[in-house]
Structure 1
Amino acid sequence: MNIFQATPGVQLNATIKTSLVGASLLLSACSGNYSGGPAPDGGSGPGTPGAPSKTVQEFFGKSVKTNMNFCRTCHVPDGVADTDEGKLFMLSANSSEDYDNVYKSWIALDKGVETNKILTNPSDPAQHHSGGQPWPVGSQPYNAMKVVLGCWDNPDNCAALLAAGTTTPVTSEFPLLGSARGGHLWDDFCVDKPDNTVLPDDPRTLVVPGVNKNKAVYMNAWWQTCQEGNKPANCGEQRARVARGYPIVASAGQVGAGSFFSGSSSTSSYSFPAADYAGMWDSVLSMSARPDNFDDLIAQRWGMPLSPTRNPYPLAGEDPNKTNGGSGQLPMGVTQLRKADGSWTGNLNVTCSICHGGGIGSASDGPGLGSVYGTNSLSDITLMFTDLSRLAPQQSALAIIAQNKVRGTGNITNFQLFGLLTISEITTIPGYLSIQTQPSTGTEDPPVWWNVGHRSAKFFDAGQVTDAKRIELSFHFPNTPFHTDMAADKKWILDHQQDSDAWIASQKSPAWPENKLGKINTALAEQGAILFHSKDLWSPTLKNTVPKPPGGNGSCASCHGAYSPRYVNDTAYLDTPALEGIAANVVPIDVIDTDRRRLDGNSAMVATYARQDWFAYSDGEKNADGVPLCGDWNDKSLRGDRELGYLAPPLYGVWATAPYFHNGAVPTAWDVLKPSDRHSIWRRWSNTARPDQTSQVMGFRYDLAAYDNQNLGWKYDALACGVTGTTPYIDCNPADAAPTIQDFLNLIYANGGLVWNLANLPILTNAQAEDRKIYNTRMYSQDNGGHEFTSVLTDQERKALIEYMKTL
């Protein structure tokens, strides 16, 4: 998550006041804490200078000039410190001018030594320096600059100061830019290492009470171990787990692919013949003949990219076992079932990629791009199940129960539905019926998988710890809801959870494709790195109207974690560099203030029900109150004094995760950082149908030409109330804030969660499918408010932060 004030009560004359107010922004680029970790080369720097400097200019060149490179990041023309006030301390691109420029600044800032803002701003927390406190009192930069200022202030004593100052070496610093791009430490650690290499500990297990106490990055979402055998013995075992987990989760025609309520079985009561799927050109698309682009049309209609690997099904007249599965290509959310001997069955079933498969550009745009596992914001799963209900009646239940109201979102953690997984366990039925009176969790945009390895808790509200792995395979839970052998069905999950989790956590975010979206402005990104990790958004002079959250330094990193190598290796930010990129801060709802329906839906009654649920480890270790330690962490008995709120996510690959917020209500990062620019009704750009197929429903564009590289998000159109798909006074109001029928419906959904799912008009026409592309923030659970604390940023600071986020 996320700078300066004169001492209260002190009256200043105009000249001094101007100097001090201006100095509030000084040195915002002088970042990095010199008490941090070892130098990048493993040493302590270039060592002690030799003979004492004869002049202050010589000393400046030896002991100060290098430090000015840090300040130069922002204090240059067009940098974030190039403001009316910041000009009191301004460097140039030419480092040979540093001595003269610093001297001019010293004069402008009323001279002196310890009281001069050149020293106090970057060393005294009370100054609320945008760049943090990179020059702690006693550090090399502080002491060296103190010598220089002392020589200027008292030339007669300069020789003695220079002699004493020669013992201070210049400290080497880590770079400002760098990213692990998510994934898990173990997979990175094992690159090029032999199989018998012993693994380090999982850094997420360090997130326990007391971690990072009084540090810049705040953590309160504690790790909890839920089962034995989490840590493989060595790199070979870790690689084997990832390899076994791939077919279970990716589910793209492999032997052992997981599928809807069927485990990894080659048979399923939910499957349907490939011939019926292949015939949807008639039954669903209402076309006169099978089109040459049938596979792409289905992928477009459902918002599910075609699988990145071969994922075949047989066409009419094809024998799948004579055509290696068939010549058709399935979208990511569907797989053809196979027997253990590798033979194809000709039957299809859906997979977890209906919610967790998406697309970012094309494979030719760069590594990791194209069809991507573990991200979405594209699919319309209710439309998909509606279409499938015409092929297979057993799929119709999920057509009647709305899984989403808006394309690109889901309602995947709605406990009103979730309890159906174990409804056959008769003891849970009374509790399950009682939670139908609780609010629906509503619209959600599934979080990306490439950040799982840097999260101590899962779900937007940190409702379960990350090690609660059972839930990850719930969509594949065999034989739901008709468990004739519940023990065997649960065993399938227990047998596969470690492998599936290992593959999910191994996923990496795609790097910013400079060849397609433009080169990153490194100088601006470095400014953003400093602001991201150091700028206190609650500095008194900013007058932030949002309550200040507990802990941390008030910066973006305080909630979202540290990523820059400079700060990762700074003990003022993290206890250990192993905590790089880990985000474990549940931000109180009164601070984050984003749509609270997701939070309200996991109420105290739901928490009580969860105590009985096997997926919430009702059979696991319990606390003194009898509450499962791997259960619902919104349960007061587990969370203790931690306020309810939303978990700030890690930001690896954040450029590729738009739209933003847990409900996908904000289309670009710029809109996140500048709340006043948000729109009430908007719609992402869609693909254009071929001239001979204009009646077909096309999906959202995810080619990079539809990406907004300035604002970081997918291009969209702001819509007015009354455009096609919105009905004034029902869906929206021309006066915007005035009441609508939706406000009345919101009261119903907030007091009966299942109604949100059942009050679902069947999708009978293409026009209805098109209307589901409109994001209306007046509808239940789709509010786009919150994150208002970033309103105090300047536009130049927003540009710098966005440029930095491109590097993550």
Structure 2
Amino acid sequence: MQWSLATLILLSCLTSRIDAQEPPAHFSPAERGYWFILNKPYLIPDFDNDTFENLWQSWPEAERNRLEMLPLDLRREEIFSYYGLTNRPSERSEKPLQYVVNNNGQYFMNCFSCHGGEVAGWVIPGLPNSNYALQTLTDDVRTTKLRIGKPLSSRDLSSIFFPMGGTNGTTNAVMFGVALESYRDHDMNILSFRSPPRMIHHDMEPPPWWHFKKRKYLYIDGFVEKDYRALIPFVLIRENDRAQLDEWESDFKDIYAYLESIEAPKYPFEINADLARAGELVFHKNCVECHGTYGDSPTYPQRTIPIEVIGTDPVRLQALSREHRANYGKSWLSHYGARKIIENPEGYVAPPLDGIWASAPYFHNGSVPTLEGVLSLEKRPEVWKKESQKYDTEAVGVTFSAYDRTPVEVTAPAERRRYFDTSKPGKSNSGHDYPNTLSSADKKALLEYLKTL
């Protein structure tokens, strides 16, 4: 089953009226999977509604003064925007897409925190959340709880030492998985003690979920054969023992079915058809070997490009040790070796390009704000800041301001996270320089064709 955005919106309207602990019996596996993400918590609560409504009091003074004058509903909208949260598509509730909210007003992070965002005025489940300010939200939650007398959770404490993400829209998600898996044996039983794993903290742009059905192997380095258990590492907190994982296993089979059902969103703006046809010729001559073909008979080679050839930032490839990959391959997560594991991948997998217009910024680390920058190295800013939700139809991607460096007067950590600095470790925008061989006319035509995918 494949879903259009209209189907997702209809389902969202339905789930907004559901108050049960399990999805309706008539739901398909994919429908159940979507329901589970929205309504069933798999982690401990991050905060409650009282904490959420007081977060703004941790903001800079000028912002606090402005919000103090706003009515509660408008203040809530400002809080959503500040942290990169969105409403649920066509759902009449105050619950953000990115969190499960139970009847007691507790908020539990869900998969849409990173994989549900907004582009061109649309809120799209499965879209990379390029606005998510996870580190800022985490810091402000801890500060707010201390101020209003709420107890701190284990996550509030661990995040003091463990970075959540250095730039808004990207997170340290890969290292979350490494840390959580390291304190489990091969059967996923919790170990009382083990030496900390090697940690190379770095930020990643989440991939769009509509690519999931095309892949046979997961992650940017393609080291894990696709399987529903590969979705489970991010819920391996100590509060979830092996018995809990067994209880939830059928849920993750349904979530897997939901991911398999997602379709790429279609470009909503005008396309120059003649220019796009010319761009299709350029694409087929230069790009299909790595990125596949599109249309009525699509193909996808899932080709791994050696790191010395692709030339993009190598930190993600270096961050996972061979030992970590091998342990994964021996564990319950890979069905004790029944699913193939690549212990020493050579580089990064060239992604499918369906819906590429929607998934800015680009590269695995989110370092390039527009498709124009992907095709033209001179269009890649050294430091950039997203300026609005307005979509750039000419450059195809984020509306941004460019800088030589992060302004020295910007000292507050929350504000500095709004700037993407490509000079920092793991954030390079270099590589993928194949378009250098194309003429300006070919690049313009190719850019137009990419809108059609």
TM-based fold match above 0.5: yes
* Partner residue in 2 for 1:279: 54
Question: Which residue identity does 1:310 align to in structure 2?
Answer: E
Compute the displacement of 1:429 (Å): 5.3
234, 237, 257: which is aligned to 1:502? 257
In 1: Cα distance, 2:308 partner to 2:170 partner: 24
* Partner residue in 1 for 2:131: 378
* Partner residue in 2 for 1:776: 421
Compute the displacement of 1:246 (Å): 1.3
In 2: Cα distance, 1:472 partner to 1:610 partner: 13
* Partner residue in 1 for 2:104: 345
Compute the displacement of 1:403 (Å): 1.3
* Partner residue in 1 for 2:120: 361
1:713 aligns with 2:397: yes
Report the RMSD for the aligned CA atoms in angstroms.
2.7
* Partner residue in 2 for 1:447: 207
Question: Which residue identity does 1:511 align to in structure 2?
Answer: K
Question: Which residue identity does 2:376 align to in structure 1?
Answer: K
Map residues 224-303 of structure 1 onto 2, 5 A cutoff: 240-249=28-37, 251=38, 257-261=39-43, 270=45, 272-282=47-57, 286=64, 288=68, 291-292=71-72, 293-303=74-84
159, 179, 190: which is aligned to 1:417? 179
Q: Secondary structure at the match of 2:117?
A: strand
* Partner residue in 2 for 1:187: 2
1:793 aligns with 2:425: no
Compute the displacement of 1:398 (Å): 5.1
**So what's the TM-score if we normalise by structure 2?**
0.84
**Does the 8 A contact of 2:100 with 2:108 survive in 1?**
yes
In 1: Cα distance, 2:203 partner to 2:351 partner: 18
315, 333, 347: which is aligned to 1:645? 347
Compute the displacement of 1:372 (Å): 3.7
Question: Which residue identity does 2:40 align to in structure 1?
Answer: G
Name the CA shift for 1:646/1:654 in 2 (closer, same or farther; >3 Å): same
Map residues 527-546 of structure 1 onto 2, 5 A cutoff: 527-533=278-284, 535=285
Map residues 659-670 of structure 1 onto 2, 5 A cutoff: 659-670=361-372
Q: Secondary structure at the match of 1:335?
A: strand
* Partner residue in 2 for 1:178: none
User: 4+ residue runs of structure 1 moved beyond 6 angstroms?
Assistant: none
Name the CA shift for 1:781/1:311 in 2 (closer, same or farther; >3 Å): farther
Compute the displacement of 1:412 (Å): 0.9
Query: How many residue pairs align between the two structures?
Result: 416
Q: Secondary structure at the match of 1:383?
A: helix
Compute the displacement of 1:332 (Å): 2.2
Name the CA shift for 1:645/1:629 in 2 (closer, same or farther; >3 Å): farther
610, 630, 633: which is aligned to 2:339? 630
* Partner residue in 2 for 1:614: 332
Question: Which residue identity does 1:513 align to in structure 2?
Answer: P
In 1: Cα distance, 2:178 partner to 2:34 partner: 30
Question: Which residue identity does 2:207 align to in structure 1?
Answer: P
1:491 aligns with 2:306: no
In 2: Cα distance, 1:802 partner to 1:425 partner: 49
Q: Secondary structure at the match of 1:422?
A: coil
* Partner residue in 2 for 1:399: 159
Segments of 5+ residues of structure 2 without an aligned counterpart are: 5-24, 146-150
Residue deviations 1:390-446, cap 9 Å, x none? Answer: 33511403532211100110111125423256378366954x63x32x534x11100
Segments of 5+ residues of structure 1 without an aligned counterpart are: 1-185, 190-236, 252-256, 262-268, 313-328, 338-343, 363-368, 536-554, 569-579, 621-627, 637-642, 686-700, 727-764
* Partner residue in 1 for 2:386: 684
Map residues 122-161 of structure 1 onto 2, 5 A cutoff: none
**Does the 8 A contact of 1:598 with 1:781 survive in 2?**
yes
Residue deviations 1:271-307, cap 9 Å, x none? Answer: 6432332333446674546644122111112112222
In 2: Cα distance, 1:722 partner to 1:446 partner: 24
365, 374, 378: which is aligned to 1:672? 374
Compute the displacement of 1:722 (Å): 5.8
